[in-house]
Structure 1
Amino acid sequence: MEAFLISTGVVALGEMGDKTQLLALLLAARFRKPIPIILGILVATLVNHALAGLVGDWIAKALGPDWLRWVIGLSFLAMAGWMLIPDKLDDEAEGSNHKFGVFGTTVLAFFLAEMGDKTQIATVALAARYTDLLAVVGGSTLGMMLANVPVVLLGDGLAKRISMPIVHGVAALIFAVLGVLTLFNVGRLF
């Protein structure tokens, strides 16, 4: 349960103001069909984060416990710094082709936009940190949905009311704490 809850919270906070959240807003404004957009986000996130989780699981098995602790701890600290850098929507994601319909366009655009993104890298690190791959992938997917579904449903009005610097600061703090606890080999407190 711990891996699921941590993954959900970290990814939900990490997704706030992220380029894929901006993409969700763009898709909602362009297509005005929330159900296929939400389902497309879900499918793209499940596939993307499952692959990221498998990479994290492989890293955990390939490295010894001492190396793994350092790699994960430093990764969390790097994520803390990265969280303080605001994302912008990539031009290629914005110009997505509509020949796949709303659902297909959303799946393709989200999958590509999530490649190498903060939340994908966080999922790799979380899967390396925790042994429960399904809990990490399920939690990270739920975190993505918690951050993106309101954007699709409520759109622009919601984005204007949330302070992104505060959300990014809280997410950076969480990643920094996870990194320090991991580096100092503190037991699974979270």
Structure 2
Amino acid sequence: MEAFLVSTGVVALGEMGDKTQLLAFLLAARFKRPLPIVLGVLTATLVNHTAAGALGAWIARALGPDILRWVISLGFLAMAGWMLIPDKVDEESAGEGMGRFGVFGTTVITFFLAEMGDKTQIATVALAARYDTLVPVVAGTTLGMMLADVPAVFLGDRIAKKVNMRLVHGISALIFAVLGVLTLLNVGKLF
């Protein structure tokens, strides 16, 4: 349960102001069809985070506990720093391929590609390696993405104007830093 809850919280906070959340805003503004956008986000996230989680689980088995602890710890600390750098998304690429793939297909493709090497994908790799439980981590990171992106699709700019992104990014950075330190200190349980 800890892996699921931590994964959900870390990704929900980490996704605030992230390029994929900005992409959700853009797709919603451009296409004005929330259901296929939400389903596209869910599909892309499940595929992307399952692959990232599988990679994390493989890394956990391949490196051994001592090296893994250092790699994950340094990864979480790097994520803490990265969270403080705001993301941007190219508005012109958000709607590319619309004629060929429709709203759902465009959302799946753009979200999947936007998640490649993104903070939340790397966090999924690290969380899966840290907890060595694929299903709860992928379910948690996917739920975290949906908690951040679904309101972006439905409420768009109204939410963005009321949320202090610097504060959210600061809290996210703090959580990643705490996870990094706890992992380095080899603390097994957070709660």
Q: Give yes or no for TM over 0.5.
A: yes
- For 2:57 and 2:114, the matched residues in 1 are separated by 22
- Aligned identity (percent) is 75
- For 2:96 and 2:111, the matched residues in 1 are separated by 10
- For 1:92 and 1:81, the matched residues in 2 are separated by 28
Tell me the equivalent position of 1:71: 71
1:62-141 matches, cutoff 5 A: 62-90=62-90, 93-98=93-98, 99-141=100-142
CA RMSD of aligned residues (A): 1.0
SS of aligned partner of 1:74? helix
**Paired AA for residue 47 in structure 2:** V
Q: Shift of the alpha carbon at 1:93?
A: 3.5
Tell me if structure 1 keeps the 8 A contact 2:22–2:89: yes
Provide closer, same or farther for how the CA distance between residues 6 and 93 of structure 1 changes in structure 2, counting only shifts above 3 A.
farther
Deviation beyond 3 Å, 4+ runs, structure 1? 90-93
CA displacement, residues 154-175 of structure 1 (integer Å, 9 cap, x when unaligned)? 0111111100000000000000
Q: Shift of the alpha carbon at 1:97?
A: 1.3
Tell me the equivalent position of 1:41: 41
**Paired AA for residue 61 in structure 2:** K
Tell me if structure 1 keeps the 8 A contact 2:10–2:175: yes
Gaps spanning 5+ residues in structure 1: where? none
Q: Shift of the alpha carbon at 1:96?
A: 1.9
1:138-177 matches, cutoff 5 A: 138-177=139-178
- For 2:6 and 2:125, the matched residues in 1 are separated by 13
Tell me if structure 1 keeps the 8 A contact 2:95–2:106: no
Q: Shift of the alpha carbon at 1:90?
A: 3.4
CA displacement, residues 139-167 of structure 1 (integer Å, 9 cap, x when unaligned)? 00000000000000001111111000000
Gaps spanning 5+ residues in structure 2: where? none
- For 1:16 and 1:133, the matched residues in 2 are separated by 23
CA displacement, residues 10-48 of structure 1 (integer Å, 9 cap, x when unaligned)? 000000000000000000000000000000000000000
Tell me the equivalent position of 1:18: 18
For these two proteins, the number of residue pairs brought into alignment is: 190
- For 1:31 and 1:182, the matched residues in 2 are separated by 43
